[in-house]
Amino acid sequence: MEPIRLYCGSDKREAIGLSVFCSSVWSRASVPVSITPLTENLAHLWGGQRDGSNQFIFGRFLIPYLQGYKGWAIFADGADMLVLDDIANLWALRDDWKAVQVVKHDYQTKYPIKYMGAINEDYPRKNWSSLMLINCAHFAWRKITPEYVEKATGANLHRFQFIDERYIGELPTEWNFLVSEFPKPEITPKLLHYTIAIPAFGDYAECDYATEWRRELNAAMNIQG
């Protein structure tokens, strides 16, 4: 059985968040999952950090290239996320006709400033690319090479301007729920995205779903209670 290929962001400022994220995936997965962090040591592949708040902001778009334009993969921001369901259930939503499938958020942030004072700007299709189910073999990705990414604007990439609208599929909101941006639903989402900050940052220690995050942290460290 081929493992699910999951790529995720890696930012040393949120190292603890990445550990919690990985633990939350592996502890619930019913099939093998291979997780590849896009570390800052790989940033030379996509021309380094040009804007945004994370080193991996452009690297996510090279996943089809890294996969040899074969098969499927998942990208998740990772370090500010928590998975509360079997990742195989997300994997099962693959649609071979689509180039990429995302949660199509349409909102304006309540928080113009997020963790560590970072500016949190509004823009079209904000956070669509933070969780992607990627059809790496789809022809729409063939043009996306290191050279393309190095020259492309953030708008071109994060708004998927290089993909025909017909090939951008939609995922249920529960697979990329933006914590604190939206009211808590009656049923806990399958993937929590602490896009403003994870509860490890003091100012956000009591944000929505902070208890779930700390519970996973304790489980990862084998702390009882």
pLDDT, tens digit, 9 for 90 and up, residues 178-199: 999 999 999 999 999 999 999 9
Q: What is the pLDDT of residue 19?
A: 94
Rg of the chain over CA atoms, in angstroms?
17
CA–CA distance, 81 with 88 (Å, rounded to integer): 17
Q: Are 34 and 91 in contact (CB under 8 A)?
A: no
Amino acid at position 106, single letter: D
**Of the candidate ranges 56-60, 110-114, 134-138, 179-183, the one whose mean pLDDT is the lowest:** 110-114
pLDDT tens digits for range 15-49 = 899 999 999 999 999 999 999 999 777 766 666 55
Can you give the pLDDT at residue 12? Answer: 80
Quote the percentage of the chain above a pLDDT of 90: 72
Query: Residues 97, 102, 103, 106: is their CA dihedral positive or negative?
Result: negative
